[in-house]
Amino acid sequence: MPDSKKIFLTEAESPKQWYNIQADMPNPMLPPLHPGTKQPVGPEDLAAIFPMELIKQEVSTERWIDIPDEVMDVYKIWRPTPLVRAYNLEKALDTPAKIYYKNEGVSPAGSHKPNTAVAQAYYNKMEGVKRITTETGAGQWGSALSFACQLFGIDLEVFMVKVSFQQKPYRKMLMNTWGAQVFASPTDLTQAGRNILAEDPDSAGSLGIAISEAIERCVTSGDAKYSLGSVLNHVLMHQTIIGLEAIKQFEKAGDMPDIVIAPLGGGSNFAGISFPFLHKNFTEGKNIRCIAIEPASCPKLTKGEFRYDFGDTAGMTPLIPMYTLGHNFVSAPIHAGGLRYHGASALVSQLLKDKLVEAQAYQQIPCFEAGVLFAKTEGIIPAPETTHAIAAVVDEAKRCKEEGVSKTILFNLSGHGHFDMAAYADYFDGKLSNHQFTDEDLKSNLQKLDTPKID
Ligand SMILES: *Cc1c(COP(=O)(O)O)cnc(C)c1O
């Protein structure tokens, strides 16, 4: 008889604060720069698009930040999420490794993203905001924020990357059901969108383009705020509820991971599950390996350059010190839409530069293979983004078998794939390809950048 398969926390046991890694980083991240003056951005520069409380969190070096009761009450709809031991997957791999996953797919929107969406909607509400603009790639962020805005009575406009808008019609329906308006980006509603369409009327869109549109729409409308679902420090901090719960659950199970793995798009779910374990590394002398998994067709961490770059395509955001493929980069239309972002969070980038976290890149076909194996053994159909983590888990578990060592591996099941079945259909029909990313592509793209380099 195995020990318990699921390790639950009660609501009373759930963490009541988020963890801010900025309090503990050996080298703090470099300051984001104003795109015009190239000077560090101040709170006043951000006040046009974000509520003040989130700006404060963005620059805070307080280690622990209280989760407001109103946010906690909404979290209770699906949190604490279960930590699950993947016994069947272990058996299928015949590995001595112990594999656990944190199931963030149980949220109303089906991913980890409501953890920050709910917090952001709350702080906007507190400051009297009536309307928010945002972008979405695969539709996960848009649906999470639609859900959150609906609960707090805020109107939402979502610019959805066109290729996903076409591939995932039911994500749009989800957003509409939660009361949001959804546009296929690039649109002709903004100058940024019109510029792109003039150059390429068939543009499939990109997250960078959609961000430009959502920010422009916010700034030009006057009465709206803007919200981002990844990359920024406050977003990553809201996600630490995942890792903080996991630590309590591992303590209950009498275990602790050696390796923590998560997929990486902008870095929020990876940060969410791994930063609390890095806190253990920093303060308890532990050596828990934290590995971010990115797609080989959009390999910013493993092949990008650490430098200042824009977060969007039109160059409206502050310059962010991060690993980037260049803000003009448009990834091949792989099915893991949430991982097709040209850059990565400044916090994760700094930690990678300091070798405190690791990164690996995977092709999409082995990821779907791992995702199907997981579905067949553990029952849950993972989001295409999540399959990247699972492919890496499978490889680590196989390595444990070869080396005859037992390690404890934790991964973040960042979302379920119920709205991504078209991607699975393409996989089963043999329509997917592994996209080769050439160093020439990268060089020519990075050469076009005129943003500041970092030595
Ligand atoms: C958005 C998303 C990701 C990637 O975004 P991060 O900000 O890097 O976490 C991964 N998995 C799922 C299911 C997502 O929706």
pLDDT in tens, 292-304: 999 999 999 999 9
* Nearest CA, atom 15, ligand 1: 140
Q: Ligand 1, atom 2: nearest CA belongs to which residue?
A: 338
The topology (CATH level 3) of 6-13+79-110+241-439 is Rossmann fold (3.40.50)
Using CB atoms within 10 Å of the CB of residue 280, give its burial: 0 to 12 exposed, 13 to 18 middle, 19+ buried. middle
444 pLDDT more than 90: no
Ligand 1 centre to CA of 309 (Å) is 21
Full strand arrangement of the beta sheet holding 289-295? 6-7, 83-85, 98-103, 408-413, 259-263, 289-295, 358-362
Confidence of residue 332 (pLDDT cuts 50, 70, 90): confident
Q: What is the pLDDT of residue 206?
A: 85
Whole-number Å distance, alpha carbon 383 to ligand 1 midpoint, is: 9
User: Does 435 or 407 have the greater pLDDT score?
Assistant: 407
* Per-residue pLDDT at 212: 93
Q: Are strands 98-103 and 131-136 parallel, antiparallel or unpaired?
A: unpaired
CA angle 307, 279, 43 (to 5 degrees): 50
Contact between 285 and 362 under an 8 Å Cβ cutoff? The reply is: no
Ligand 1 center from residue 405 Cα (angstroms): 31
Q: What is the mean pLDDT of residues 143-171?
A: 95
pLDDT at 329: 84
H or E element that contains 151: helix 140-152
User: What confidence score (pLDDT) does residue 1 get?
Assistant: 44
Q: Which two tokens stand for residue 166?
A: 């076409």
pLDDT of amino acid 3: 67
Asked whether residue 100 carries a pLDDT value surpassing 70, the answer given is: yes
DSSP state of 124: H
Please tell me if the domain spanning 6-13+79-110+241-439 has the same topology as the one spanning 19-40+47-66+111-233: yes
What pLDDT is recorded for position 434?
87
Task: For residue 113, give the amino acid letter.
Answer: K
Contact between residue 184 and residue 157 where contact means Cβ atoms under 8 Å apart:
no
What angle is formed at CA 136 by the lines to CA 134 and CA 140, rounded to 5 degrees?
120
pLDDT score recorded for residue 443: 86
User: Could you identify the atom of ligand 1 that is nearest to the CA of residue 111?
Assistant: 13
* Number of the ligand 1 atom closest to the C-alpha atom of 104: 13
Task: Give the DSSP H or E segment for 181.
Answer: strand 181-185
Map residue 57 onto helix, strand or coil. helix
384 C-alpha to ligand 1 centroid (Å): 10
pLDDT in tens, 391-429: 999 999 999 999 999 999 999 999 999 999 999 999 999
Quote the ligand 1 centre to 336 CA distance (angstroms).
9
Mutate which of 232, 234, 237, 269 to test ligand 1's pocket (most atoms within 8 Å of Cβ)?
A: 269
From the alpha carbon of 231, which atom of ligand 1 is closest?
Answer: 7
Atom of ligand 1 at shortest range from CA of 239: 9
> What would the two tokens of residue 402 be?
């070869």
Highest mean pLDDT among 80-84, 165-169, 445-449: 80-84
Q: How far apart are CA 348 and CA 169, in angstroms?
A: 32
Separation of 402 CA from ligand 1 center, angstroms? 31
List, chain by chain if needed, residues with CB within 6 Å of any ligand 1 atom: 111, 113, 140, 230, 263-270, 338-339, 383, 385-386, 414-415
- The pLDDT tens digits for 26-37 are 999 999 999 999
Read off the pLDDT of residues 37-86 as tens digits, 9 standing for 90 and up. Answer: 999 999 999 999 999 999 999 999 999 999 999 999 999 999 999 999 99
Pair of tokens at residue 366: 């082995």
Least confident window among 91-105, 158-172, 272-286, 366-380: 158-172
Residue 441's pLDDT is what? 80
Contact 318, 32 (CB under 8 A): yes
Q: What is the DSSP annotation of 1-26?
A: --S-SEE---TTTS--EEE-GGGT-S
Q: Closest Cα to atom 1, ligand 1: which residue? A: 338
For domain 19-40+47-66+111-233, which architecture applies? 3-Layer(aba) Sandwich (3.40)
pLDDT score recorded for residue 120: 98
**Ligand 1 nearest atom to the CA of residue 105, by list position:** 13
The predicted structure's pLDDT at residue 37: 92
Distance between CA atoms of residues 46 and 53, nearest Å: 11
Numbers of helices and strands, H then E, in the chain: 19, 15
Strand runs labelled E in 296-388: 305-310, 319-324, 358-362
* Predicted confidence (pLDDT) at residue 336 exceeds the cutoff of 80: no
**If you average pLDDT over residues 278-298, what whole number do you get?**
97
Instruction: Give me the residue spans of the domains in the chain.
Output: 6-13+79-110+241-439, 19-40+47-66+111-233
Please state, in angstroms and rounded to a whole number, the distance separating the CA atoms of residues 422 and 237: 32
Over residues 196-234, the pLDDT tens digits come to 999 999 999 988 899 999 999 999 998 999 999 999 999
Residue 96 predicted with pLDDT over 50: yes
Mean pLDDT within 139-168: 95
Per-residue pLDDT at 2 exceeds 60 = no
Q: Which atom of ligand 1 is nearest to the CA of 265?
A: 8
